[in-house]
């Protein structure tokens, strides 16, 4: 067998599109959650943080099953999503985005949480005492001080979302040209004995992931 280049590119492009959208959503949610959790103290905080981190340790099939139930056509979220998009969200590109967001969020949150926790609160209080609003403190004081953690969290979330397989396969399926991402394409290629295509997609995945991790290392330096 030889590499079928027209067949090679759709999973690559779809994975990049899905992961780009998912990583932006996960980054915004991670910034909001990390900032809130680093500033607020309330009863049950440890439970909330545990729930945030839970998808990181659960098997992908468990995450996929929970999403399958939550986004089904009979569920409240499923009905709302179907009304919003005028079509069921399951087995669509948006399902792949949701799966990537869920599995990437814990890594993004944890990385950003460390960054926000290291901010010197005396600097923020000085800005507030000078008349700055909470938004101005966040925009001009806090965010510049944690920008490396934010960028690192985003890159790690991008890499994690790019490699998502189990949950994506359960709620988005493996529809060529529609929901087939790189990991699912590799699985099908290996299962059918098409090793040249499996190797091509694997090398592509390694190259993209290597570049993302290299960028993370440079940010840390």
Q: What is residue 170's DSSP assignment? A: H
> How many domains, the chain?
1
Q: How many alpha carbons lie under 13 Å from residue 75 in its C-beta half-sphere? A: 13
> Residues 138-190: pLDDT tens digits?
888 888 888 888 998 999 899 899 989 989 999 998 888 889 999 999 999 99
Q: Phi-psi category of 133—alpha, beta or left, where left has phi over 0 and alpha has psi -120 to 50?
A: beta
Domain housing 147: 5-37+46-220
Domain at 207, CATH number = 1.10.3720.10
Residue partners of 117: CB distance under 8 A and separation at least 6: 38
pLDDT at residue 106, rounded to an integer:
95
> Residues 53-75: pLDDT tens digits?
999 899 989 999 999 999 888 88
């Amino acid at each position: 067998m030889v590499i079928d280049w027209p067949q090679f590119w759709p999973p690559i492009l779809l994975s990049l599109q899905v992961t780009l959208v998912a990583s932006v959503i996960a980054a915004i949610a991670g910034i909001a959650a990390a900032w809130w959790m680093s500033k607020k103290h309330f009863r049950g905080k440890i439970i909330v943080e545990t729930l945030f981190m839970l998808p990181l340790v659960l098997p992908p099939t468990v995450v996929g099953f929970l999403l399958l139930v939550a986004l089904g056509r009979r569920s409240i979220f499923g009905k709302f999503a179907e009304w919003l998009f005028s079509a069921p969200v399951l087995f669509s590109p948006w399902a792949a985005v949701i799966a990537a967001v869920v599995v990437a969020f814990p890594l993004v949150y944890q990385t950003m949480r460390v960054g926000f926790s290291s901010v010197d609160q005396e600097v923020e209080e000085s800005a507030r005492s000078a008349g700055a609003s909470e938004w101005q403190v966040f925009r001009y004081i806090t965010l510049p001080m944690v920008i490396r953690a934010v960028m690192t969290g985003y890159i790690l979330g991008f890499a994690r979302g790019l490699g998502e397989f189990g949950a994506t396969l359960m709620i988005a399926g493996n529809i060529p040209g529609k929901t087939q991402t790189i990991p699912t394409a590799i699985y099908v290629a290996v299962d059918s004995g098409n090793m040249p295509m499996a190797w091509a997609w694997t090398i592509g995945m390694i190259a993209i992931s290597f570049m993302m991790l290299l960028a993370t290392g440079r940010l840390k330096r």
